[in-house]
Amino acid sequence: MGLLTKPIKTLDDLFVHQLQDIYYAEQQITKALPKMITKVADPELKQALENHLAETRKQIKRVEQVFQMHGEEVRATSCPAIDGIIEEANDVMGDASDPEVLDAAAIAAAQAVEHYEIARYGTLIAWARQLGRPDCANALEPTLQEEKAADLKLTEIAEAHVNRAAAVTGGSRR
């Protein structure tokens, strides 16, 4: 039965499982972000990650609210996907010796996290609507919009200065 604690028989079971999965993922993200914030050098990037950490804490509250609205116990299930994404982020950032190159790696890592969340919240919202729970869908919609905005902000910071600084400092070829 793999990682799951109960079999998935209905779309509702799948919805609850996905909610437990994102609940775990968000918690891992709140643990990973402070370390990332300490490591990055670019002030705008540092600020964007700090803002996103504050948003993530609000997003956890929203997931808890949806568990309650749905009459389900608030609980997390393991999520190998986010564990893998964070492990990869730590590895690449740990190996980047130049601060500007590390910033570029941090943006790439954060965008992989954002895209994971965009996929998961998009699915959760679609399933909630299908299950006749527009209230649960509406409670999660602001999170999806925040994830998309965070991803765009990171692209903006990368293209405005971080990628250029990384290319200049480290040189474009070894």
**Least Å distance between CB 116 and a second copy?**
6
- Tell me whether residue 62 or residue 133 sits nearer to a second copy (CB atom): 133
81: Cα separation from own chain's centroid: 11
Q: Say if CB 90 and CB 152 are below 8 A apart.
A: no
Choose between 62 and 120: whose C-beta lies nearer to a second copy: 120
Q: Which is nearer to a second copy, 28 or 51 (CB)?
A: 28
Query: To the nearest whole angstrom, how small is the minimum distance from the Cβ of residue 17 to a second copy?
Result: 7
Query: CB-wise, 41 or 108, nearer to a second copy?
Result: 108
Q: What does 69-90 look like in DSSP terms, one character per residue?
A: HTT--------HHHHHHHHHHH
Q: Which of 74, 42, 80, 43 is nearest to 169 (CA)?
A: 42
Q: Is the dihedral of CA 120, 33, 151, 173 positive or negative?
A: negative
Handedness of CA 6, 24, 120, 89 (dihedral sign): negative
Distance CA 36, CA 48 (A): 11
Nearer to a second copy, 34 or 80 (CB): 80
Q: Which positions lie near a second copy, rule CB under 8 A?
A: 1-4, 7-14, 17-18, 21, 79-85, 87-88, 90-92, 94-98, 101, 104-105, 107-108, 111-112, 114-116, 118-120, 122-123, 126-127, 130-132, 151, 155, 158-159, 163-164, 166-167, 170-174
Q: Which of helix, strand or coil describes residue 127?
A: helix
To a second copy, the closest distance from the beta carbon of 79 in angstroms equals 6
Residue 164 beta carbon to a second copy: minimum distance, rounded to whole angstroms = 6
